[in-house]
A and B are shown apart, each in its own frame.
Chain A
Amino acid sequence: MSEDDDQTEAIAARVRDAAAAGTPVAIRGGGSKPFYGHRLDGEALDVSRHRGVLNYEPTELMLTARAGTPLVELEELLAANGQMFAFEPPHFGGGATLGGAVATGLSGPRRPFAGALRDHLLGVRIVDGNGSVGRFGGEVIKNVAGYDVSRLTVGALGTLGVVLEVSVKVLPRPETERTVCLEMAPEEIHGRIEDALRNGAPITGAAHDGDRAWIRLAGATSAVTAGADWLGGDTPTDETFWSRLRDHTMDFFRGDTAEPLWRLSLPPGGRSPDLPGKRVVDWGGQLHWLRSDASAEGIRRETAAIGGHATVFRGGDAATAVFTPLEPALARFHGRLKRAFDPHGVLNPGRMYPEF
């Protein structure tokens, strides 16, 4: 890490100029997730040079790094110290950065069992739309001073601020990890893993690839063994399943199909949305990846009927809202928050919702 790695001033200056001129910027980290959200027209603001670990103390279970630091680098550092990001952030590409993980707010297969990125976030430093730098949250696990601005930046797709620094809670790596495969329908997973959890099985993944269920256990060896015995099933030979699911490198995600890829986020233990198309299920049934040419309204109506929401994850057309539209009162609060952080509307305008 050199002096050069601290781009705070340069980034803040760019935003100040953009605010003064009223010309939007399109924030870019590693460029691994350009498909996510609406397309942006602004001038590129590259934050990938703003990188480096600022504070990592394994005994504090905490890491602070600049937003442009690649996730792979951080994960290697953590692994060398027997630790990990418990939320298993998807990379979707080699260059994925910590800032991009925060901005997209996505979490991997471990999410239902260990929490999402937002659950492990401790603090951020951001440049708001006026170009002013602020620090919110901190480096300690408990902190209720001021409103929770750090979690507000998670999943905001850069529309509230350019994320400069991120502090996250990290956890010890499990002693043992093991996967079992079971023949069952996606709808049966919830009940089965509930029983297993109540019997002490340390489950950290529960997915369905269209053929069979994959259940991952991780933790103390004794608990993993007991849990795997309780669940039964076969031990698969494929050790890359979870990373291919996380990063969408499975064939299901890669195939060059015309149908867009939908992401359906659902309540626990409900019925599956009745929709045509192929799907891969994650999060114990609470996340459906759906390839379908059904209409956007149809997909959204059916998903909403069971208490969930639907996102066009990849391959949508420009006319379809990427995210489920907000009800009027919530839309009003979103608009006001956007104006509070970015009064000139220069930070990634429209990437999340066309209105802001």
Chain B
Amino acid sequence: MTATTPYHTDDTAFAVQAPRVIERLRAALPERSLVVEEAERRAYESDGLSAFRQLPLVVAIPDTIEQVQAVLATCHDLGVPVVARGSGTSLSGGALPHPQGVLLSLARFNQILELDPERRLARVQPGVRNLAISEAAAAHGLYYAPDPSSQIACSIGGNIAENAGGVHCLKYGLTVHNVLDVTLATIEGDIVTVGSQALDTPGYDLLALMHGSEGMLGVILEATVRLLPEPLTKQVLLAAFDSAATAGNAVAGLIAAGIVPAGLEMMDGPAIKAAEDFVHAGYPTDAAAILICELDGGTEEVVADTARVDALLRDSGATEVRVARDADERARFWAGRKAAFPAAGRISPDYYCMDGTIPRKHLGEVLTRIADMGREHGLGVVNVFHAGDGNLHPLILYDGNTPGELEQAEAFGARILELCVEKGGTITGEHGVGVEKINEMCIQFNDAERETFFAIKRAFDPPGLLNPGKAIPTLNRCAEFGAMHVHHGEVAHPELERY
């Protein structure tokens, strides 16, 4: 738990009169849709990034679009911040409440409105859980491709707001590639649809703009997503390596050979051991790294690709390659990967999940440097990530009850992100900036670029009430942060050790 609020003073300078806000919301919403009591508001004080906590002024849980509009109108008229919340699994504090604001939960918008197997579309409300779409589509041999590890819990609204990815992104794309249209309520009271069921729409690509906009441009009320036919066949290979760097190079080797796996995931030694102790997947616990590679397609194609991947992995230095013999074994190969986050939770009181992306060719080097940094900070780190996309998820292990460890974890995490930028990558591949990486935005973007972001924000939210203080840092924040850093990762005093 941090003692200081992640909000900058710039972001909490709203003149809000709580009683007036609550009074107007009471008039607009049924009693069961308003949470005012402090004890009940506690349930909403953080999202998946539990290191940050913040009580909202009040929580609204509307049932109808009219009620959502009434909440937004109240906030607009009274100048009150509003933070949309789906399932609250954000790992960047995207759904962290604002101390002066309304937390707007979309949890009750949980209906699949239409599922059209012929046209392979599903029209859904924003609170529908990601996995629920695939479950409903399964009866028709279809599924919704983006599959974040949090898919049993996270909502499609949150997925759009974060442009969520999953293990099958390399071949099937991110959320932005699988959503056809989004209907939004704006802070000014409009309801607009961006995108369409056609393959393009006149005007600017506002549909893409909404993806990853972290609830700062509008509140998502509905979306149409594309469904895919289940692949005819799948195969999973598991390869062991005696160094993470060799495994990293094997990833680049597969891609170079023209293979586009349905999934290509990597776990390092500590992750393998933690997962094995937890789910007993039969992983080689003496390996320094494993790759899990899923191939899909027609039967013959998968057989041919499996043989090629097997050979390529061995050529790249794999000490062992296992090809799953049946569906059971395929599921077992995946089981450890899927349980890796909770497994990390078993070996450490707390962990902090990072999300940088780098060009694949730097995987080996970056993993080595992360391990070195861990030693410098005196903290353990477990790597389990989307190797095919170059999207790292170092889990920094710490104990929030040991004074100073959270601060060490944050400092370590910030260095990892800077390293990603230095290697030509980005500070966030799929979890979003939120409050967590807002300072690092000062490193990745210069003042003019950040001003462009603010200009976009103002176009959709002129009063600046939607999720203020997230994602895009103000000049003041960057100036303060810049006392330590300068643009593009060049450090002010490189000779000094920084934590």
Give chain B residues whose Cβ lies under 8 Å from the Cβ of A138.
424-426
Interface pair B200/A151, CB less than 8 Å apart:
no
Q: Indicate if the CB atoms of A269 and B118 lie closer than 8 Å.
A: yes
Alpha-carbon distance between A173 and B259 when the two chains are bound, in angstroms: 10
A145-B428, A171-B260 known; A267-B198 Cβ under 8 A: yes
Which residue of B141, B165, B441 is within 8 Å of A142 (Cβ)? B165
Taken residue by residue from 198 to 213, chain B's Cβ proximity to chain A (1 for < 8 Å, 0 otherwise) reads as 1111111110110111
With a CB–CB cut-off of 8 A, which chain A residues contact B449? 134-136, 146
30 contacts between A and B (CB under 8 A): A59-B252, A59-B255, A60-B255, A115-B177, A118-B205, A134-B446, A135-B449, A140-B357, A142-B391, A142-B430, A143-B357, A144-B431, A144-B433, A146-B449, A148-B213, A151-B205, A151-B209, A152-B205, A198-B141, A202-B297, A220-B297, A220-B298, A265-B198, A267-B196, A286-B198, A308-B198, A323-B202, A330-B192, A340-B455, A340-B459
Q: In the complex the two chains form, what is the Cα distance from A118 to B202 in whole Å?
A: 14
Q: Does A309 contact B201, Cβ atoms closer than 8 Å?
A: yes
Chain A positions within 8 Å of B, measured between CB atoms, are 57-62, 82, 105, 111-112, 115-116, 118-119, 128, 132-136, 138-149, 151-152, 154-156, 160, 171-173, 191, 194, 197-200, 202, 219-220, 222-223, 226, 265-269, 283, 286-287, 307-309, 311, 323-324, 326-327, 329-330, 333-334, 336-337, 339-341, 352-353
Contact: B357 with A59, CB < 8 Å?
no
A35, B223: Cα distance in complex, Å: 34
Contact A155 B424 (CB under 8 A): no
Interface residues of B toward A: which range?
Answer: 35 or more
B298 touches A340 (CB 8 A): no
A140–B452 CA distance with the chains assembled, in angstroms: 21
Given contacts A141-B357, A141-B389, A143-B357, contact A326 B203 (CB under 8 A): yes
Contact residues in B for A266 (Cβ distance below 8 Å): 198
Stretch of B235-243, B299-307, B322-330, B402-410 contacting A (4+ beta carbons < 8 Å): B299-307
Residues in chain A near residue B174, CB distance under 8 A: 142
Bound-state CA distance A62–B360 (Å) is: 11
B186 at the interface (CB under 8 A from A): yes
What A residues does B198 contact at CB under 8 A?
A: 265-267, 286, 307-309
In chain A, what residue has the closest Cβ to B230? Answer: A198
Say yes or no: B202 contacts A326, CB within 8 Å: yes
B460 at the interface (CB under 8 A from A): yes
Q: B446-471: contact bitstring with A at CB < 8 Å (1 yes, 0 no)?
A: 10111011011111100000000001
Against A, the Cβ 8 Å flags (1 = close, 0 = not) of B206-232 are 101101110001000000000001011
B255 touches A144 (CB 8 A): no
Report whether B424 and A140 are in contact in the complex, using a CB–CB cutoff of 8 Å.
yes
CA distance A307 to B458 in the complex (A): 30
The reply to whether B256 and A156 contact each other, CB–CB distance below 8 Å, is: no
Query: What's the Cα separation between A352 and B203 when bound, in Å?
Result: 8
Using Cβ atoms and an 8 Å threshold, which residues of chain A touch B201? Answer: 265, 309
B258 touches A60 (CB 8 A): no
Q: Is the CB of A286 within 8 A of B199?
A: yes
Contact between A223 and B429, CB atoms less than 8 A apart = no
Q: Which residues does chain A contribute within 8 Å of B364, judged by CB atoms?
A: none
Residues from chain B with a CB closer than 8 A to the CB of A160 are 204
- Residues 149-187 of B, flagged 1 when their CB comes within 8 A of A and 0 if not, give 000000000000011010001100110110000000010
A142 touches B359 (CB 8 A): no
* B480 at interface by CB-CB < 8 Å: no
Interfacial chain A residues near B368, Cβ < 8 Å: none
Q: Given A138-B424, A329-B192, A336-B459: A148 and B176 within 8 A (CB)? A: yes
Complex CA distance for A18 and B120, rounded to whole angstroms: 48
- Are B298 and A139 in contact, CB atoms less than 8 angstroms apart? no
Q: A144-B430, A268-B119 are in contact. Are A156 and B204 (CB under 8 A)?
A: yes
The reply to whether A145 and B391 contact each other, CB–CB distance below 8 Å, is no
Cβ-based interface call for B271 (8 A)? no
Q: Which of B170, B231, B455, B472 contacts A146 (CB 8 A)?
A: B472
Please, which residue of chain A has its CB at the minimum distance from the CB of B252? A59
- B200 and A146 contacting across the interface, CB-CB below 8 Å: no
Given the complex, which residues of B lie within 8 Å of A222, measured CB to CB? Answer: 298, 300-301, 304
Q: Specify which chain A residues have a CB less than 8 angstroms from the CB of B429 in the assembled complex.
A: 140, 142-144
In the complex the two chains form, what is the Cα distance from A285 to B377 in whole Å? Answer: 59
Chain A nearest CB, measured from B204 CB (Å): 6
A253 to chain B, nearest CB (A): 19
Partner of A59 from B212, B305, B360 at Cβ < 8 Å: B360
- Chain B residues contacting A111 (CB-CB under 8 Å) are 199
B390 at the interface (CB under 8 A from A): yes
The answer to whether A341 touches B455 (Cβ under 8 A) is yes
Give A220 to B445 CA distance when docked, in angstroms. Answer: 42
Residues on the B chain within 8 Å of A134, using CB: 446, 448-449, 452
Q: Known contacts A147-B212, A148-B211, A340-B452; is A330 also within 8 Å of B203 by CB?
A: yes
Say yes or no for B358: interface residue by CB 8 A criterion.
yes
Given A141-B357, A220-B298; A155-B389 close (CB under 8 Å): no
* A47 CB to nearest B CB, Å: 20
A139 and B359 contact, CB distance less than 8 A:
yes
Distance in angstroms between the alpha carbons of A200 and B141 in the assembled complex: 12
Q: Tell me, yes or no, whether B361 is within 8 Å of chain A by CB.
A: yes
B190: chain A residues within 8 A (beta carbon) = 329
**A267–B121 alpha-carbon span in the complex (Å):** 10
Task: Tell me, yes or no, whether B84 is within 8 Å of chain A by CB.
Answer: no
Given A148-B212, A155-B200, A269-B119, output 12 extra A-B contacts at Cβ < 8 Å.
A60-B359, A61-B255, A135-B449, A142-B389, A146-B450, A147-B209, A147-B456, A172-B259, A223-B298, A309-B202, A337-B459, A341-B452
- Closest Cβ–Cβ distance, residue A56 to chain B (whole Å): 12
Residue B74 interfacial (CB < 8 Å): no
